Amino acid sequence: MMNSSYDLSDLLDSPFYEYLNTNYIPTDSQIIEIRTHLIPHEAELARIESLIADLTAQRARVKSYIAPHKALISCPRRLPGELVEQIFVDCLPTTHNAVMSVREPPLLLGRICSGWRSIALSAPKLWNSLHIYAPLISTQEIKRGITEWLTRSAPLPILFSAQYNSIAYPRTYPENDTVLPQLIPFSARWSDLSFTNVSPDEAFSLAEVNAPLLENVKLDFRDDFDELDGDRLLRSQMFFGGQPPKITIASAIPRCIVPNTHFTWEHITHLALIWERPAHSFSGVSVLTAEMAYRLMSSCRSLKSLELPLYYSELDLVVDPPMSFPTLESLRLLSHVSTLPGTMCFLDGLVLAQLTTLHLTIQDARDGWSRSHLLQCIERLGVRSPLIADLHLDCTNLPSTLAFVQNLHVFSRLQCLDLALWKPVGNDWCNIYKTVETNFFEALDPTDVSNICPELRELSVCSRDFGEGVWMNFLQANIDLGTKFRRLHLKLWYLYDTWEIEVPDVSEYRSRGMDVVVEYIRVPVNDANSRSAWEGIERH
């Protein structure tokens, strides 16, 4: 029996040691000697490998015996079903509805073991949200899956979203491939509903259902939707539930939603009409005129929030005295520089005593005179609406921003301020005036005894550049004085990828209770949206 213990020193005993690890070429007789010398060593190697195979098999048998016994005492097995269910719920997406994919929760959670699959299938909280990418629903299996999914969610309210093709283009799949036959039987539990590229037929089907729990609905209409269709939908019983819903309607022609004749939508408290078109194609033919906006607001006397794309064509329309809308708390307007005087006239015709949120976006606002007068118009609205606490102005390249900021004292309740000091428009990168960042922060200096915004808690500023010392001094002053200010968001534009960007360290401010975000934004080449079909619909 050979010694089964080998180490490197054993090579010294080899009769061929002097030739090992060299380029020496043995003779024919030496080859025969080497082969003869290796016979016992190869036999020993075979014996050891046989032992290893036997030991490996024994190890596998012992492990297979131990594993099920350990499983009996494992921590996950002893977790209460309620705790496992809560862990599963925490695995669900938080920014969009769940998707029907075995790679994502909740379907993924049912592929772990039979016990956990039983828990997952019996937990309604895992199944009360669902997003469907409509071109993928043509198979009967998927349609049955939708029904089973929503059935498991009983008795919880349902959050459902369906994404069809782009609103600007016709569908490329059969018209009868719609999710409504699977969805309508569950209308009594609808809570949040979102559809894109809705056809008139689908809208009429929705209009016939009773949805008493509906709180939030977003519908993106196809281009073939006209004003009669919109009127019929918003008068339907779907919106007359126990709690008035938040209604968001996106369309290439949002003006089709507002009837030309007298109407009453007292049941609507939150309405957003969104124009689904690129900013550069702003058209008065598609969006609302001021007259339509007044008629809409007058017919929705219970409105608390309103969002509109506004186009003003009746330049001689003057509302005197201004119209009062005592319930409106939030107003968001999208307008265009070409009709800016009309937008100002529209705002001057409103008295909004309960208004707390004002968001105004003016596309292509390059004319300094118009912007200056717009800011004066907003100041006048602030006097008539003393409760405004959230003010967002995106008018781009504001030459009179500083003057406006210095007059913010008219907004005595202001807590959140979002301004665009400068934002790239077209090819204007090189043809801009000097920005006023330094003066801007000085105007909000909390150490000034005449602090114009004593209630300010959040500030978001969009511009080209900020010297670190300017905004850091502003933050330090708020920290030293113990003011209510808690959040600063700087959005800085840059033009070339070759520019060196060094993001400042804001950890010190965060450790002292300040939420500071410095965001660098590349000047966009286009407005293309590359959102994945599987990402779902965002919830806020």
Q: What is the pLDDT of residues 337-347, one digit of tens each?
A: 666 777 888 88
One-character DSSP codes across 321-357: SPEE-TT--EEEEEEEGGGHHHHHHHHHTEE-TT--E
Pairing mode of beta strands 390-394, 357-363? parallel
Q: What is the pLDDT of residues 472-492, one digit of tens each?
A: 889 999 999 999 999 999 988
> Who wins on pLDDT, 523 or 461?
461
* pLDDT confidence of residue 486: 94
Percent of the chain with pLDDT over 90: 31
Mean pLDDT of 167-179: 51
* pLDDT confidence of residue 151: 95
Mean pLDDT of 256-271: 83
* pLDDT confidence of residue 57: 95
Question: Which range has the worst mean pLDDT, 356-360, 470-474, 497-501?
Answer: 497-501
**Locate tokens 């500030």: which residue?**
459
Mean pLDDT of 505-530: 78
For the chain, what is the radius of gyration of the CA atoms?
34
Burial of 398 (0-12, 13-18, 19+ CB in 10 A): buried
* pLDDT confidence of residue 50: 95
Among 54-63, 424-433, 435-444, the range of highest mean pLDDT: 54-63
Q: What is the pLDDT of residues 10-42, one digit of tens each?
A: 777 888 888 888 999 999 999 999 999 999 999
* Residue 94 per-residue DSSP state: S
Among 36-50, 139-153, 355-369, 525-539, the range of highest mean pLDDT: 36-50
Q: Which of 47, 14, 7 is nearest to 30 (CA)?
A: 14
User: Would the pLDDT of 532 be above 50?
Assistant: no
> Whole-angstrom Cα distance, residue 216 to residue 245?
5
340-348 vs 290-299: helix crossing angle, rounded to 10? 30
> Who wins on pLDDT, 19 or 465?
19
Residue 220 β-bridge partners? 250
pLDDT-based confidence at 1, cuts 50/70/90?
very low
> Who wins on pLDDT, 399 or 450?
450
> Who wins on pLDDT, 348 or 320?
348
Mean pLDDT of 281-305: 80
Contacts by residues 401-405 (CB-CB < 8 Å, ≥ 24 positions apart): 401/375, 401/436, 401/440, 402/436, 402/439, 402/440, 402/443, 403/372, 403/375, 404/375, 404/378, 404/379, 405/440, 405/443, 405/444, 405/452
* pLDDT confidence of residue 129: 95
Measured in degrees and rounded to the nearest 5, phi and psi for residue 454 equal -70, -20
**Peptide bond preceding 181: is omega within 30 degrees of 0, i.e. cis?**
no
* 152 half-sphere exposure, CB direction, 13 A CA radius: 21
> Whole-angstrom Cα distance, residue 42 to residue 60?
27
Q: What is the pLDDT of residues 79-112, one digit of tens each?
A: 888 999 999 999 999 888 999 888 899 999 988 8
* pLDDT confidence of residue 157: 95
Mean pLDDT of 350-363: 91
Mean pLDDT of 148-158: 95
User: Cα 96 vs. chain centroid, distance in angstroms?
Assistant: 8
Mean pLDDT estimate for the chain? 80
* pLDDT confidence of residue 365: 53
User: Would the pLDDT of 498 be above 90?
Assistant: no
Percent of the chain with pLDDT over 70: 78
Q: What is the pLDDT of residues 183-223, one digit of tens each?
A: 999 999 999 999 888 877 888 888 888 888 888 888 888 77
Measured in degrees and rounded to the nearest 5, phi and psi for residue 506 equal -110, 10
* pLDDT confidence of residue 404: 76
User: Would the pLDDT of 465 be above 90?
Assistant: no
Question: Which range has the worst mean pLDDT, 55-69, 191-205, 211-225, 515-529?
Answer: 515-529
Give every CB contact of residue 320 below 8 A, 6+ residues apart in sequence.
349
* pLDDT confidence of residue 402: 66
User: Would the pLDDT of 527 be above 60?
Assistant: no
**pTM: predicted TM-score of the whole model, two decimal places:** 0.73
Q: What is the pLDDT of residues 397-439, one digit of tens each?
A: 555 566 777 778 889 899 999 988 776 655 554 444 445 567 7
- Report the helix count and the strand count for the chain, using DSSP H and E: 15, 16
Q: What is the pLDDT of residues 380-396, one digit of tens each?
A: 899 899 999 999 988 75
> Whole-angstrom Cα distance, residue 156 to residue 129?
10
* pLDDT confidence of residue 55: 95
**C-alpha angle 72/74/78, rounded to 5°?**
85
